[in-house]
Amino acid sequence: MSTTVESQSHAHGDGHHDHPEYLQHHFDNPAQQESAAKLGMWVFLATEILMFSGLFLAYFIVRSQYPEMVLSAHEQLDWKLGSVNTVVLIFSSLTMALAVRAVQLNNRKQASLMLIITILCACAFMVIKYIEYSSKIEHGLLPGIAYAEHTIVEGTHYAQEGWWGGPQLFFGIYFMMTGLHGLHVVIGIGLLVWLLVKNNRGRFSSEYFTPVENVGLYWHLVDLIWIFLFPLLYLVK
């Protein structure tokens, strides 16, 4: 999945012959290329939103079927870590936006600085995520049959069998939502590093900053999904 994202959002890097070097052969002028790339990115973001919508619907349905289980099960989640993660991600969204602004103003050094901060914030997000996951694994709060491993009655596959709609359902949803979101953060880190490398090589300028803008849009969407994910999973009483 990640390869296509990279190839899609900056498929126009190496133009050739008399046009400006960043212009692709099948486009006629930079404006057409830039608006095509941005529209392509927005349509791609539409598919991301719809993909996550499936998970959000699964969450709301599990919540409507087993309200008290969800409320009791999400006590296990540490909302303080969640809040820190939210702040980290929103801050990285700011620095990403400033990076795009810096490229638009031809300030390459500031752009690189902002990109580095964004990458660091993203890594911090993943570290906090790792801490949360390891504490969950330790307590055995895992999805489905892996739930509460050590309380399994000896000899049976499942936890207490016939135990339907228990916390393992909530943690199934929790791990899928945060897992898929985490995967998108990792893909984002890959893209940002790629941007940083190209920026240091001076590929971007106020003339041509489409890849930076597209990765920025992608990163803001990842932040947007977390903005909805955080209250639903960690906070709602």
Shortest distance in whole angstroms from residue 29 CB to another protein = 6
Question: Nearer to another protein by C-beta: 123 or 220?
Answer: 220
Shortest distance in whole angstroms from residue 206 CB to another protein = 6
Question: Nearer to another protein by C-beta: 30 or 182?
Answer: 30
Question: Nearer to another protein by C-beta: 125 or 147?
Answer: 147
End-to-end CA distance of the chain: 35
- Count CB atoms within 10 A of the CB of residue 190: 14
Shortest distance in whole angstroms from residue 7 CB to another protein = 5
Q: What is the DSSP string of the chain?
A: -HHHHHHHHTTTS---SSS-TTS-TT-SSHHHHHHHHHHHHHHHHHHHHHHHHHHHHHHHHHHHHSHHHHHHHGGGS-HHHHHHHHHHHHHHHHHHHHHHHHHHTT-HHHHHHHHHHHHHHHHHHHHHHHHHHHHHHHHT--SGGGTTGGGSPTT-SSSSTT--SSHHHHHHHHHHHHHHHHHHHHHHHHHHHHHHHHHHTT---SS--HHHHHHHHHHHHHHHHHHHHHIIIII--
Query: CA-CA distance, 175 to 147, in Å (whole number)?
Result: 12
Shortest distance in whole angstroms from residue 225 CB to another protein = 10
Question: Nearer to another protein by C-beta: 21 or 207?
Answer: 207
Question: Nearer to another protein by C-beta: 127 or 227?
Answer: 227
Question: Nearer to another protein by C-beta: 56 or 193?
Answer: 56
Shortest distance in whole angstroms from residue 184 CB to another protein = 13
Shortest distance in whole angstroms from residue 137 CB to another protein = 13
